[in-house]
Amino acid sequence: MALVRTTLTAAVLESDSKIAVTSATGFAVGYQIRIGDETMQVSKGYVAASLQVPVLRGQAGTLAKAHANGSGVTVGAAADYANTTPPQTSAPFMIAGRARVINEYNAAGAIALPPPGADAIAVINGTVLAMTLAVPTSEMDGCVLTILGTVGAAHVITVAGGIGGSALVTATFDASGRCAMQFLAYNQIWYPLPSPFSGTLTGIDVALT
């Protein structure tokens, strides 16, 4: 069977052993659940078709963390998930993997900064939200932050310190389409990464002011 996507109907704390979901389609004992960058497993106490799902937290080497109401939930058998571990081969130079965290937002507020040495994805759900982004710390040099909206909404991102150190401090998503933007942290400044698109855009552009 293919992976199934639903959403949380209540916030989840790090210590919770159950999650509440919008749809029970695809859930079965032993199946894997992915919320943000945490993997869970449906535990033996699950009753078929129930919207209250008992789970084992922090599976597959991930850590239990809090998840906001409305966050995306993906569920399926282990075999349905892509194999993320490539075959081991000998390489002349070893390159360390780079961590990436995912945070979802369903209410206005501050976007979490990427941990030093890691990248982050900020997923903004729902209607128009006003979000703030603090100045990156000096330990965050090289960290990449991706901000995306899952629906067409004119989300407003206020960037402390200015975008690229300029007088531009506000990024407004196009209301008619799903948008995304990226910043690179360096020397305590958020630098906007260039877009591969050119010309007149409609529905996927972000206006900077």
Tokens matching residue 182: 């990226």
- Give the pLDDT confidence score for residue 6 in this predicted structure: 92
Residue 207 pairs with which residues in a beta bridge?
172
Q: What is the pLDDT of residue 89?
A: 47
Please calculate the CA angle 26-107-101 and round it to the nearest 5 degrees.
60
Element (DSSP H or E) covering residue 33: strand 32-35
Average pLDDT per block of 10 residues along the chain, 209 residues long: 88 95 96 92 95 95 90 89 52 59 94 93 93 93 94 94 94 90 94 78 80
Residue 133's nearest CA partner among 174, 178, 192 is 192
Global pTM reads 0.71
CB 146 within 8 A of CB 118: no
Stretch (H or E) spanning 145: strand 144-149
Domain boundaries, the chain: 4-80, 100-208
Task: Look at residue 97 in the predicted model and tell me its pLDDT.
Answer: 62
Could you tell me which CATH number the domain at 4-80 has?
2.40.10
Residue 78: DSSP 8-state: G
Cross-strand partners of 105: 124
